[in-house]
Amino acid sequence: MEYKNINAVSMEIGNSIYLYDRFSNEFMKIDKAIEKILDDFFTLSVEEIEAKHTDITKSEIIEKIDFIKKAQSEHNVLIPYKVSHFAMSPNLSIYDKIKKKIESGLTNLILAATEECNLRCKYCIYSGAYPTIIRTHNSGYLSWETAKKAIDIF
């Protein structure tokens, strides 16, 4: 399942549901009630969640909301990151932009060497399944010059 208000996906494997939080790169086991209310947690009040999900008891909804809040505060997952969190200030020089990014906790450098992966996972960002993402699998490769620049900056 894809979520609207958080960059995560959940999937049922056997009798369990696992959620992958793309921003924190963490997997977590959740249950059906959390899967159902997770998107609403970010946009609705507790009363509205209760009114919408009548198949879940009120006490269970409170318990699941506490679980989500605890996951956010203690494990830094299920945070509704916005694109603007990653946007760089247009008024800074390129040097200051990079410096700011690095000082803000940049700890990993991932070089996507190609978009030509042949595994074709259904959920892949290049699968064509996401209407707002126009890139699909292609034969594009990361050039040596670009990779070197990224490594030098990192």
Binding site for ligand SF4 (CB under 6 A): 117, 119-121, 124, 126
User: Between helices 58-75 and 32-41, what is the axis angle to 10°?
Assistant: 70
Q: Side-chain half-sphere of 11: how many Cα atoms within 13 Å?
A: 7
Determine what percent of the chain falls in helix, strand and coil, rounding each to the nearest 5: 40, 15, 50
Residue with smaller CB distance to ligand SF4, 83 or 119: 119
Residue with smaller CB distance to ligand SF4, 98 or 125: 125
Residue with smaller CB distance to ligand SF4, 117 or 150: 117
Q: Side-chain half-sphere of 83: how many Cα atoms within 13 Å?
A: 0
Of 79, 83, 87, residue with least CA distance to 6 = 79
CB 119 within 8 Å of CB 5: no
CB of 94 to ligand SF4, least distance (A): 29
CB of 111 to ligand SF4, least distance (A): 13
Q: Which residue has the tokens 């916005």?
A: 82
Residue with smaller CB distance to ligand SF4, 86 or 123: 123
Residue with smaller CB distance to ligand SF4, 88 or 111: 111
CB of 122 to ligand SF4, least distance (A): 9
Residue closest to ligand SF4, measured at CB? 124
Distances (CA, A) of 65 to 17, 62, 96, 115, 151: 17, 5, 39, 38, 41
CB of 121 to ligand SF4, least distance (A): 3
CB of 58 to ligand SF4, least distance (A): 39
